[in-house]
């Protein structure tokens, strides 16, 4: 929801790594680490391999530009991958 709010509610540019790092920090992630992940692309290959295709992508692309879809998904996956798991 934080990315949704940033884009639709606050009209932030999700192509901007600084904006994505701010969003990461707002949900409790380390801002500096999130920015490093976004800038060095360490999870880019994994994210691209898992990007959805088909109807869901077409619907999302209707809401956002294609570059924003890719950026949003990459950020989401990178932040999900780097988020520490909760204790069991």
CA pair distance 17, 39, nearest whole angstrom: 7
Query: What average pLDDT does this structure show over 62-86?
Result: 55
For residue range 8-59, list pLDDT tens digits in order.
Answer: 999 999 999 999 999 999 999 999 999 999 999 888 888 888 877 655 544 4
Q: For residue 3, give every residue at least 6 positions away whose Cβ sits within 8 Å of its Cβ, in sequence order, or none.
A: 14, 23, 72, 75, 76
Q: Are the C-beta atoms of 31 and 24 separated by less than 8 Å? A: yes
Residue 81: band (very low, low, confident or very high) from pLDDT cuts 50, 70, 90: low
Rounded to two decimals, what is the model's pTM? 0.58
- Buried b vs exposed e over 3-24: b needs ≥16 C-beta within 10 Å? beebbeeeebebeebebbbbbb
């Amino acid at each position: 929801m934080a990315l949704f709010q940033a884009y639709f509610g606050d009209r932030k540019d999700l192509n901007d790594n600084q904006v994505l790092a701010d969003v990461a920090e707002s949900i409790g992630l380390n801002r500096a680490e999130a920015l490093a992940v976004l800038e060095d692309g360490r999870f880019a290959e994994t994210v691209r391999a898992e990007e959805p295709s088909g109807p869901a992508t077409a619907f999302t692309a209707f809401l956002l530009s294609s570059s924003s879809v890719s950026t949003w998904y990459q950020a989401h996956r990178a932040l999900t991958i780097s988020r520490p798991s909760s204790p069991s």
